[in-house]
Structure 1
Amino acid sequence: MSSAEEKIKSSERKCIATGQVLSKTQLVRFVLGPSNKICPDPENKLPGRGIWVKADVSAINKAEKNNLFSRALNQSTECFDNLAATVEDLIAKRIINLISLSRKSGQSICGYEKVKDWLKKDVAEVLIQSSDGSNREKSRLRTPDGGNYIGWLSSSELGKAFGRENITHCALASGGLTQRIVEDAQRLKGLRIVKDQNSCRKDESAK
């Protein structure tokens, strides 16, 4: 096996709910915590044996309902109430924190005119628009060529990243933080039911 193949294999895990072998960026890690509680570990940092589930509401619900965590660990376990919602909340907060860090390092900006300027100058690698923003207003900006789009965070969530009440438009420049945001946003997409289907155009999906 080549070093490249070994690297790919080391970054993949098997989902206990679907049986799929997927990249870690498509999965959520869980570990056994105190009192045999199953604890989500979206940052992949907690000690202990990792149990992996696809970042998808149905997969997590299946793992919880069918006691798949207990089977994987060969012991009795207990899950948080509304486990999928708990995971969704943790990942959303992580994304908000990462966007805030990128803002402080000059890698992200907000506001229609500023975002438009970054897009025009090819500075933006990612366009983020709030899920509850005006579709007409959002359609005035397009995803950068070869870039990514994130459209499943609310205006209040984006606002928290910039210390404001509500934000509709945000852009990210290239960088390590941006890559982490895109990966976490893809996981969040599988966990978050987007009620407004118009918020996802063909050219507007995190890759």
Structure 2
Amino acid sequence: MSETNNKNETDLVNDAFKDDKRSNDRTCIISGATGSKETLIRLVLGPDETLVPDLANKLPGRGLWISANRAILDDNIASGKFTKAVSRSLKASYKQDAGDLPSLIERLLTRRCLDRLGLEQRAGNIVTGFDKIKAETVGKSARDIIGYITASDSSDDGRNKMSAAMPAEAIMSSLFSREQLSQALGKDNVVHVAVFNSGGAKILRAELDRLKRYRGIPE
């Protein structure tokens, strides 16, 4: 992302709503940082005047865009800067309490990842279990592994051994507990998950990247 420098508040508002059909970039209403629709988070004002996270970018209405970073959002809500930025963007006074918004966004981002993981399981693009994945890493299919997900409450030893066997380009993730992974995949005690290359797996990778950024986890 690139920071927008030397811009006043009106410029930030105008940039936030500029819909350049030649570009996928959008502008954060708080910082002026720019990024693609897939890396920012869209908010839409609902009928009850509350802000609704539109993570699929499909809800009708005029959207507000914010950077995918919970720490920044928490700080700006606490300081009142977020409310001011929303009011400027909507060109109307916004007085709703946004204190629960950061937690709601994180829950929804997490659910999108786990739902996509379940879809990839049903499509046959997932292998679970230490031994089964280990066997895949030494076969011809190793180059097709684009992601390795391990439970956040797994042992360091198992995680380190499996991570070392993964292709260098595979994304590594330990964002979810074994309970969350087990529920998403409909299996008991899921600790290790390998994700194989597919169109859906690429979507999963993008969703994992966005959740990592939101939690402030280094790339």
Shorter-chain TM-score tier? 0.7 to 0.9
Contact 1:96 1:158 in 2 (8 A): yes
Contact 1:108 1:172 in 2 (8 A): yes
Deviation at 1:120, TM superposition (A): 2.3
Instruction: Note the alpha carbon deviations across 1:121-161, whole angstroms, 9 max, x for none.
Output: 31311111112211111111123222211221221111112
Give, in whole Å, the separation in 1 of the partners of 2:25 and 2:136: 35
Moved more, 146-155 or 94-103: 146-155
Q: Give the structure 1 partner of residue 108 of structure 2.
A: 90
Larger Rg: 2
Q: Give the structure 1 partner of residue 32 of structure 2.
A: 19
Contact 1:157 1:166 in 2 (8 A): no
Moved more, 33-42 or 142-151: 142-151
TM-score normalized with structure 1 length:
0.83
- Over 3 Å counting, the alpha-carbon distance change for 1:128 and 1:8 in structure 2 is farther
Give, in whole Å, the separation in 2 of the partners of 1:119 and 1:97: 25
Pairing 1:140–2:161 present: yes
TM-score normalized with structure 2 length:
0.79
User: Is there any run of 5+ residues in structure 2 with no aligned partner, and where?
Assistant: 1-19
Give, in whole Å, the separation in 1 of the partners of 2:97 and 2:201: 32
RMSD of equivalent CA atoms: 2.1
- Over 3 Å counting, the alpha-carbon distance change for 1:160 and 1:8 in structure 2 is farther
Pairing 1:153–2:210 present: no
Contact 1:127 1:144 in 2 (8 A): no
**Which amino acid in 2 is paired with 1:186?**
D
User: Which one of 41, 60, 65 corresponds to residue 47 of structure 1?
Assistant: 60
- Over 3 Å counting, the alpha-carbon distance change for 1:159 and 1:125 in structure 2 is same
Pairing 1:125–2:146 present: yes
Alignment partner of 2:175: what SS? strand
Deviation at 1:76, TM superposition (A): 3.0
Contact 1:38 1:79 in 2 (8 A): no
Give, in whole Å, the separation in 1 of the partners of 2:53 and 2:176: 20
- Over 3 Å counting, the alpha-carbon distance change for 1:145 and 1:8 in structure 2 is farther
Q: Give the structure 2 partner of residue 4 of structure 1.
A: none
Contact 2:71 2:216 in 1 (8 A): no
Q: Give the structure 2 partner of residue 175 of structure 1.
A: 198
Identity %: 28
Residue-pair matches, total: 190
User: Which one of 95, 104, 108 corresponds to residue 122 of structure 2?
Assistant: 104
User: Which one of 174, 184, 188 corresponds to residue 207 of structure 2?
Assistant: 184
Alignment partner of 2:173: what SS? strand
Contact 1:53 1:59 in 2 (8 A): no
Q: Give the structure 2 partner of residue 3 of structure 1.
A: none
Give, in whole Å, the separation in 1 of the partners of 2:126 and 2:41: 26
